[in-house]
A and B are shown apart, each in its own frame.
Chain A
Amino acid sequence: MTIDTDLPSNVAADRPEDADQLTAKLRHAAVAALPPERLMPDRQPAYVASWIYVFGILTMSALAVVILTGIVLSIFGPLWWHVSSTGHFVNSLHLWSVELMFFAMVIHLWGKFFMAAWRGRRRATWITGIVAFVLSVGTAFTGYLSQQNFDSQWISTQAKDGINSTGAGAVFNVLNFGQMLMWHIVLLPLIVGVIVAIHVLMVRLRGVVPPFAPPGEPVTSTEPVTIGAATEGDES
């Protein structure tokens, strides 16, 4: 990065002489891959007008509530969520938003499976979705272990044999409350957040997969459409 003492703060980018800089290259690559109109589109193809396409954003909305209520729970701690009425309420919000998230995520998964949503160079979208699902199961599991009640004790003693039989118990000890809590509130949410962000960016990059052509009609292209090249009747 070049230091320019006379540079006004609002013209810090896109000077021709800076084209070889790492920041300029990264910025151009990012904008070329995901221009603003593709990152936040105003319209979607006609086939997206179905309730089955709602469950992805419903999953993410529930995830947002999970994270927000999780932050509140971590601020006040176990005594608060076990004893006070408000703590019970936020604890219940955390649990039921997780239930809703999995409910919506499974329907989203079924819908995408029967659409074969990996078609048209969308394999990375499908795989990141599956990874997000598996990681969410692990996050929910460590959440059950972090409740600090008889339920969490029961689940951990039942789970330890299963985990130990895989050999993972050497590094992932479900009876170690501190370790499970750290996995639940730090590591797994961080990884899930990154994977979900990549998943959504892949949806924006490749677009929503078109439906299968009806019997007897010609097969339409499933390839993503390049911005600026789209014409009426294209699928993206």
Chain B
Amino acid sequence: MQTLSTALIQVLGSVFNLTGPGHYINWGFIQLSVANLIVIILMVIVFFAAILIPFRRHGGDDR
């Protein structure tokens, strides 16, 4: 278990290198970190998915 978690940390660490300063996007006076931008994009995707993906309904009538 310890070996598995260590290996997982190494794999994730190679994909997401968090050593060093963060990345930022500048647009006029607006400064936005790439991490926050990714979260905002994910929220927009989940918002539209929640509207478009059908919801499985239970029961026979509407109430």
Contacts and interface: CB of A to CB of B under 8 A. Distances in A.
Interface of A: 43-46, 49-52, 54-55, 103, 106-107, 110-111, 230, 232
Contacts of A50: 50-51, 55
B27 interface: no
B43 A107 contact: yes
B18 interface: no
A232 B51 CA distance: 25
Contacts of A230: 63
B47 A45 contact: no
Contacts of A55: 50
A43 B55 CA distance: 15
A50 B63 CA distance: 15
B39 A52 contact: no
Interface string B42-61: 11001101110101010101
A69 B54 CA distance: 34
Contacts, number: 41
Interface of B: 39, 42-43, 46-47, 49-51, 53, 55, 57, 59, 61-63
A111 B50 contact: yes
A49 B39 contact: no
Given A45-B62, A103-B39, A52 B57 contact: no
Contact of B50 (A45, A51, A232): A51
Nearest to B57: A49
Contacts of A52: 47, 50-51
B43 A106 contact: yes
Contact of B46 (A43, A44, A49, A107): A107
A178 to B, nearest CB: 30
Contacts of B63: 43-46, 230, 232
